[in-house]
């Protein structure tokens, strides 16, 4: 009961925190952090979210627990992180005339190497050539991502790429003094109405999942992240006690995980959905302000590097290790789940270094031939 009570408490603190943000924004400079600025707390949170999604999946497949909403909201935090990171890295570049094609190309080469590898591992190209084409081009988000994704948990990448296409429009919404907050309120309203319209039951049905996993269900998360990205320069200059930040971050994250573990799909709707949205924004905002020691910076960097691979690789490894190598019977459910998570993390780091990074650098060199001097 005490932990559950932290959810409304955390959201109340979020409103107070937001009021503080508004007052700061009145005097904020227009210049955002450059692309060289890196908030390592975001990387730490990415790793935590990827791990929680993987835990949700393996616990579900092993019939240990159904942590549906835990899996949902840790994916939704990814959309907030994407919005804040894109705004910090690219808002000034778009203001200076960055070409949309260059931006999309950079995002494509960031996501494509590992995703393409998993699509190729899936096979069955001749029978599903249209679906394969949509996946290789990341256009499957426009064709109902849940159905067309060839990779387990890959649906979110299709939604993500829609947000990349719309990113210049979101930047327009950040202009002015009060316009960003009006746009955020409108996006929250549209999001909650869309989810309420598409989810008609309190069951975790596949039909509901197919209906609501559309970009309209996550617009407020992404734009809320964009707004946080605009706010981060001044927020980062606020001096807050280290222990206060860490306590607020851990309590909010723990409260969300605990409360959502016992909730149904109705946690996406109405007031509860709004409170969880506020919690997601609060977690991301605080994570960007977390002061990290030298070891903490190394852990955060490692967490960021393995997050994408862990998110995509754990379903494939689960299937291969359980069905092909028969490790499930040898180790038992708890040890097997831990082995899958550890294997996915190690493989994610190896592929990030020896597969993703070389292809990404090659892609960026190709893009630089069109327009140079844009750096990650």
What does the pLDDT look like over 97-126, one tens digit per residue?
A: 888 899 999 999 999 999 999 998 876 666
pLDDT at 2 over 60: no
Angstrom CA distances, 104 to 95, 98, 115, 168, stand at 16, 11, 16, 11
Most confident of the ranges 6-15, 45-54, 244-253: 45-54
Segment 198-248, tens digit of pLDDT: 876 666 666 666 777 888 899 999 999 999 999 887 776 665 556 556 666
Angstrom CA distances, 58 to 55, 88, 249, 314, 315, stand at 5, 34, 26, 8, 8
Residue 18 — very low, low, confident or very high, per pLDDT cuts 50/70/90? very low
Residue 337, token pair as written in the block: 């789940």
Q: What is the pLDDT of residue 144?
A: 84
pLDDT averaged over the chain?
Answer: 80
Q: What is the pLDDT of residue 264?
A: 55
Q: What is the pLDDT of residue 97?
A: 86
Mean pLDDT in residue range 142-158:
89
Mean pLDDT in residue range 16-34:
41
Mean pLDDT in residue range 31-59:
80
Residue 71 — very low, low, confident or very high, per pLDDT cuts 50/70/90? confident
Mean pLDDT in residue range 281-304:
88
Cα gap 236→220, rounded to integer Å: 23
b (16+ CB within 10 A) / e for 47-72:
bbbbbbbbbbbbbebbeeeebbbbbb
The reported pTM is 0.84
Mean pLDDT in residue range 75-94:
94
Segment 241-279, tens digit of pLDDT: 565 566 666 666 666 655 554 455 566 777 778 888 888
Cα gap 353→359, rounded to integer Å: 10
């Amino acid at each position: 009961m005490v932990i559950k009570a932290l959810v409304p408490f955390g959201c109340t603190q979020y409103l107070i925190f937001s009021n503080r943000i508004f007052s700061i924004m009145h005097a904020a400079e227009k210049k955002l952090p450059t692309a060289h600025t890196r908030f390592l707390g975001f990387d730490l949170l990415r790793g935590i979210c990827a791990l929680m999604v993987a835990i949700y999946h393996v616990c579900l497949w092993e019939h240990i627990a159904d942590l549906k909403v835990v899996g949902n909201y840790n994916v939704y935090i990814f959309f907030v992180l994407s919005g804040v990171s894109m705004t910090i890295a690219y808002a000034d570049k778009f203001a200076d005339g960055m070409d949309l094609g260059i931006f999309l190309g950079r995002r494509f080469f960031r996501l494509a190497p590992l995703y393409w590898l998993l699509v190729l591992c899936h096979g069955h190209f001749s029978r599903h050539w249209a679906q394969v084409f949509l996946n290789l081009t990341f256009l499957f988000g426009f064709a109902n991502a849940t159905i067309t994704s060839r990779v387990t948990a890959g649906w979110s990448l299709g939604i993500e790429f829609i947000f990349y296409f719309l990113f210049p429009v979101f930047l327009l919404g950040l202009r002015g003094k009060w316009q960003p907050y009006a746009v955020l309120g409108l996006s929250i309203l549209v999001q909650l109405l869309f989810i309420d319209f598409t989810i008609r039951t309190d069951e975790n049905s596949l039909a509901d999942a197919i209906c609501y996993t559309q970009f309209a269900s996550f617009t407020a998360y992404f734009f809320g992240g964009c707004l946080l990205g605009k706010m981060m320069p001044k927020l980062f200059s606020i001096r807050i006690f280290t222990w206060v930040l860490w306590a607020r971050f851990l309590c909010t994250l723990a409260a969300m995980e605990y409360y959502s573990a016992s909730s149904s799909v109705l946690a996406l709707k109405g007031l509860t959905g709004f409170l969880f949205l506020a919690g997601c924004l609060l977690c991301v905002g605080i994570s960007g302000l977390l002061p990290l020691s030298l070891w903490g910076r190394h852990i955060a960097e490692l967490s960021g590097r393995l997050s994408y691979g862990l998110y995509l690789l754990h379903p494939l490894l689960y299937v291969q290790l359980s069905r092909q190598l028969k490790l499930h019977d040898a180790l038992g459910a708890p040890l097997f789940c831990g082995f899958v998570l550890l294997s996915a993390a190690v493989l994610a780091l190896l592929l990030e270094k020896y597969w993703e990074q070389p292809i990404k650098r090659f892609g960026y060199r190709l893009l630089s031939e069109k327009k140079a001097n844009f750096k990650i």
